[in-house]
Structure 1
Amino acid sequence: MKFNTIVSLASILSAIEAASVVYSIYPQQTAQPTQNVVFVTRTRDASSSSVTGQTTAITSCHYHGKTQFCVNGQGEEGVVVGAPTKTQDAPTEYTGCHAHSPQETFCIDPSGEEVQFQAEGEASESSGSSSGGKNCHFHAGVEHCVGGDAEEASCERVDRDYNIPLRIGLLFVILVTSGIGAFGPIFVRKLFNLSTDGIIFVIIKQFGTGVIISTAFVHLITHASLMWGNECLGELEYESTGTAITMAGIFIAFLIEYFGHRALQWRNNKALGTVKPVEDGSAEDDSITNKEAAQVQNNQVHGHHEHSLLMPKDKVSVTMMEVGIVFHSIIIGITLVVAGDSSFITLFIVILFHQMFEGLALGSRIAELEKTSMLNKLIMAFIFTIITPIGMAIGIGVLSKFNGNDKSTLIALGTLDSFSAGVLIWTGLIEMWSHDWLFGKLAHANAVKTAAAMFSLILGMLLMSLLGKWA
């Protein structure tokens, strides 16, 4: 009997103690029943999770950038999803925390709205659950993955299902579009006898100048830096490899133009030596007249950017411009085809406009070449027209073996992008921009032509730079 009495007393004391504990945790149970749901926190090890404590609020809320962090009752810091974007309006604590499921914890802000609290371990697990923490995307058609186990897996070739008939069909679309851009200015000038100094041609030329400059800086240099910085390439012993190759491209473009102009001067000087004045005031000339010889000499002495009598100096510049574009276009064709089907159509549309703009840029410069036969102009335009489809054909041929994150592939693409950027920087800045605006006819153009040319230049830069978001 005494034993039963003692047990009863012990039970009563335990109940009173439990009630006091509950009351200390829930002092306002009757006033605010919705604010007092138990918030269950979990501590995780490598293999399991378990319930270890409880709390009704998260406190010590603060911001890192635009993300709000708070601390729960177990001392775990986590992210508040749905927190105010204005930090001055944000509360420093949230109450009424409760669990909708073992993986989801919600609390109430002062206005009565729910926000989600994710402890650091839960946030990282949540972000990784949807895609394994691995995020893959394409740079210039070459897949690049970050997060999760991307460092180990991304360097291996990934087998994909490619829509080959679609790629073959769109090859001809690129061919036609490139041809329209490159041949268009040439035929328009020929058919309508347009002056290269007219406002229409000035607008086309300056738009092309903006396109070339943006191609060099926004497309090529950016793509090259991504190639040289790819994790699969490893750490470069010389960190400035890409920019050094770009500088080499600028220097080689300069050397070709310099020695090309020196060769033209030598030919002109040789032509000047063939002039034989006659006593009666006429001239007997095996190749050119006294008047033409004087013009050649005047151009050389004053350094005018004019066409020589034997061969236009600008043809060297346009040829260098085409060389840089050709290298770039081969890469574009290959990387377009090897891009996964998920991004292929988007990339194709962007490159379609890209080729049209580049074709206009090159075609407008080819069209204004003097003392160059129509056949030569058409050949130059034809080379640009077919080069991207050739790159696409190469890409289709290597689809079963291509690995964009292979070390040798990254080096090849990075080298071509860096070198092409150097060539187009020289051509765009020196032979196109400064030639037209500082030494050419735009230096003394009227206000209307100057404004139209400036607007077209900026438009070319902006549109081509916009395309750089996807290509």
Structure 2
Amino acid sequence: MARTVLQATEDIMEAALNQTEKELDAYEEDPYDLGLQIGGVFIIMAASIAGMGTSYLFGSDADCDRKSALYLILTLMRGVGVGVIICTALIHLIGEAFLPFELSGFDELYPAWPMVFAMIGMFAMAILEYIHHRLEMRSRVLFASERAGEVEMAKSGGKTSKSSALEVTENPVADEPADLDKSGIVDQPISKSLAAKQRSAILVEASILIHSVLIGFDMGLQTKSVWIPLVIAISFHQFFEGFAVAQILLDAKFGFWKKFAMTAFYSLTTSVGIVIGICTYTGEGYDGQSKGANITIGIIDSICGGLLLYTGMSVFWTEWFVVNPEMCLSDSLTPPTMGFLGVFLGMLIMSVIGIWA
């Protein structure tokens, strides 16, 4: 009996030793490199600043001659930024979320979890966008009604007309200076005003900051073999996404200090996420191969992918190229061709990087 217990104890100790040796071998094959992770903090920061800085040097498309080479290059760069954002969402976030769910065994319950959490991210972004547009449109209608009332009162000596308010409300929208009628009162048509563009820019920036922290956190948890291709992919992503974000800030015509603050936030958030990931990985009790860790990474990647996909599709691609009046009414097909070519190139570049990342 004693020999049987002793033998069982020896077998348990041998099994534990073998398991420890396997873990050590795995670590030696794919170690966690703290030096690379710290370097990544500054690499990503530099790529983010470079992307936004390059965009500021180009300036807004509204400041360019529509027939100039600069305008075409700017349109191409905008398109590349859109393509990089969409491909990052689909391939580098949602696509890669399948593996951690598989490693955790969570996919046995339902194999499409990455798509589920991506839809949650898209749904959240859609609600935020709806709230923004609802407030913006209702404020424009209210403003138009008030201005129409003032004009009508000035014309009729105190009486207002519903038809005049409706007429102003249905006017097409423009950012050009308002016209002055005979009574000397400004008749402002409803448009996507500068204030609306600024609110939209803040919303886009906020959503991007959220997913940037999460992307950085995910990167801070990666081992050496994954880190090297991943930092290349994220650097491309941060550069071209930064270019696109800066274009939105230029359209919103923020002052210097607001642009400086929003540029700083964008440039730092991914690096802050990396630092959080490093602290989490090196902290006590963290097991990167545990079921909980894999599920967490899978959920983070999926939700970030959904946020980014919605932003890239509905904000950038749609507004800049698909329904942009300048693109649709342009006598030349060169600008829209350059825009869609840029989207294609951005997708292609990030898809190729996805072979290794």
Query: TM-score, normalized by length of structure 1?
Result: 0.56
Q: 1:433 to 1:167 in 2, by over 3 A?
A: closer
Query: What's the CA shift for 1:385?
Result: 0.6
Equivalent of 1:454 in 336, 340, 345? 340
Take 1:208 and 1:297, find their aligned partners in 2: how far apart are those partners?
Answer: 34
Residue 366 (structure 1) aligns with: 249
Take 2:303 and 2:113, find their aligned partners in 1: how far apart are those partners?
Answer: 11
Equivalent of 2:95 in 205, 212, 222? 222
Contact 1:188 1:194 in 2 (8 A): no
Q: 1:467 to 1:331 in 2, by over 3 A?
A: farther
| Structural mapping, 1:308-323, within 5 Å | 308-309=192-193, 311-313=195-197, 315-316=199-200, 318-323=201-206
Take 1:383 and 1:339, find their aligned partners in 2: how far apart are those partners?
Answer: 24
Take 1:313 and 1:380, find their aligned partners in 2: how far apart are those partners?
Answer: 15
| Structural mapping, 1:21-32, within 5 Å | none
Take 1:389 and 1:400, find their aligned partners in 2: how far apart are those partners?
Answer: 17
Residue 172 (structure 1) aligns with: 42
| Residue 239 (structure 2) pairs with residue 356 (structure 1) | yes
Take 2:278 and 2:272, find their aligned partners in 1: how far apart are those partners?
Answer: 10
Query: What's the CA shift for 1:444?
Result: 2.7
How many residues matched? 307
Residue 80 (structure 2) aligns with: 207
Take 2:56 and 2:157, find their aligned partners in 1: how far apart are those partners?
Answer: 37
| Residue 322 (structure 2) pairs with residue 438 (structure 1) | yes
Give the gaps of 5 or more residues in structure 1: 1-148, 285-290, 301-305
Equivalent of 1:186 in 39, 56, 70? 56
Which secondary structure does the structure 2 equivalent of 1:274 belong to?
helix
Equivalent of 1:258 in 130, 147, 153? 130
The CA deviation string for residues 317-338 of structure 1, in whole angstroms up to 9 with x for no partner, is x455444543443343234344
Query: What's the CA shift for 1:280?
Result: 6.6
| Residue 250 (structure 2) pairs with residue 378 (structure 1) | no
Q: 1:320 to 1:233 in 2, by over 3 A?
A: farther
Residue 418 (structure 1) aligns with: 302
Aligned sequence identity (%): 26
State the AA in 2 paired with 1:395: G
| Structural mapping, 1:104-253, within 5 Å | 162-189=32-59, 194-195=63-64, 198-230=71-103, 232-253=104-125
Q: 1:326 to 1:280 in 2, by over 3 A?
A: closer
Q: 1:254 to 1:354 in 2, by over 3 A?
A: closer
More strand by percentage: 1
Query: What's the CA shift for 1:261?
Result: 0.9
Take 2:109 and 2:121, find their aligned partners in 1: how far apart are those partners?
Answer: 21
Equivalent of 1:271 in 143, 146, 151? 143
Take 1:173 and 1:283, find their aligned partners in 2: how far apart are those partners?
Answer: 66
Give the gaps of 5 or more residues in structure 2: 1-17, 159-163, 174-189
The CA deviation string for residues 202-252 of structure 1, in whole angstroms up to 9 with x for no partner, is 22221111111111211111122222222x344543333321222222222
Equivalent of 1:397 in 279, 293, 309? 279
Larger radius of gyration between Structure 1 and Structure 2: 1
State the AA in 2 paired with 1:468: G
Residue 409 (structure 1) aligns with: 293
Take 2:99 and 2:65, find their aligned partners in 1: how far apart are those partners?
Answer: 39
Residue 429 (structure 1) aligns with: 313
Query: What's the CA shift for 1:447?
Result: 2.3
Take 2:345 and 2:126, find their aligned partners in 1: how far apart are those partners?
Answer: 27
Contact 1:277 1:283 in 2 (8 A): no
Query: What's the CA shift for 1:174?
Result: 2.0
With a CA cutoff of 8 Å and minimum separation of 6, indicate the structure with the bigger relative contact order.
2
State the AA in 2 paired with 1:435: E
Contact 2:217 2:275 in 1 (8 A): yes
Q: 1:176 to 1:296 in 2, by over 3 A?
A: farther
Contact 1:207 1:361 in 2 (8 A): no
Contact 1:185 1:360 in 2 (8 A): yes
| Residue 340 (structure 2) pairs with residue 340 (structure 1) | no
Contact 2:88 2:350 in 1 (8 A): yes
State the AA in 2 paired with 1:171: V
Take 1:399 and 1:226, find their aligned partners in 2: how far apart are those partners?
Answer: 19
Q: 1:347 to 1:267 in 2, by over 3 A?
A: closer
